[in-house]
């Protein structure tokens, strides 16, 4: 018999970790309406699979990242969040969740960086999001279902690509 999930516990945990939902939705969509829709879909799918959450196997945040990224990547593959065009920068409240608030002189560079991140493939975007969240390679591997070695290799390549793009953007803007 399948165990019935505790809706109150789920709502409390989701509220405590809503930043994860907003970060993922912000990184995988272009427009505010799409972000809201994706955030709602992530919440719905998290509730549907909450009965499968096992705190002995993973922290809620790790489990929620996995659900959120799977939903976002699935929607992207179905064409419900195509980022082939110009990527709109994340709104300030999303940036606040990602890290410390940027200084005014850093705003433009941060916007350019997030534009480049938005142009990465779905898995690379997930990797860099988790890396920027200071997740360990082991946690990233667990969330994405890949090996720690694969995480390290991919993050190294992504950083190199982003570094090159940032240098190119700085040179073009000078």
pLDDT at 98: 42
- Mean pLDDT within 65-75: 91
State how far the Cα of 58 lies from the Cα of 106, in Å rounded to an integer: 35
Give 106-164 pLDDT, tens digit per residue. 567 777 888 888 889 989 999 998 998 889 999 999 999 999 999 999 999 999 998 88
Percentage of the chain exceeding pLDDT 70: 80
- Residue 108 contacts residue 174 (beta carbons within 8 Å): no
Does 82 or 16 have the greater pLDDT score? 16
């Amino acid at each position: 018999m399948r165990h019935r999930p505790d809706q109150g516990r789920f709502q409390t945990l989701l509220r405590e970790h809503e930043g994860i939902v907003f970060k993922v939705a912000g990184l995988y969509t272009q427009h505010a309406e799409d972000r809201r829709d994706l955030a709602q879909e992530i919440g719905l799918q998290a509730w549907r699979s909450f009965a499968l959450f096992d705190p002995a196997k993973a922290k809620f945040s790790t489990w929620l990242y996995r659900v959120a990224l799977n939903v976002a990547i699935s929607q992207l593959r179905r064409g419900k969040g195509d980022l082939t065009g110009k990527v709109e920068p994340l709104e300030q409240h999303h940036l606040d969740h990602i890290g410390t608030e940027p200084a005014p002189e850093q705003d433009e560079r941060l916007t350019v960086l997030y534009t480049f991140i938005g142009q990465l493939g779905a898995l690379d975007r997930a990797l860099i999001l988790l890396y920027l969240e200071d997740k360990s390679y082991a946690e990233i591997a667990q969330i994405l279902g890949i090996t720690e070695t694969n995480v390290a290799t991919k993050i190294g390549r992504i950083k190199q690509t982003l570094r090159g793009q940032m240098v190119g953007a700085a040179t073009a803007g000078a």
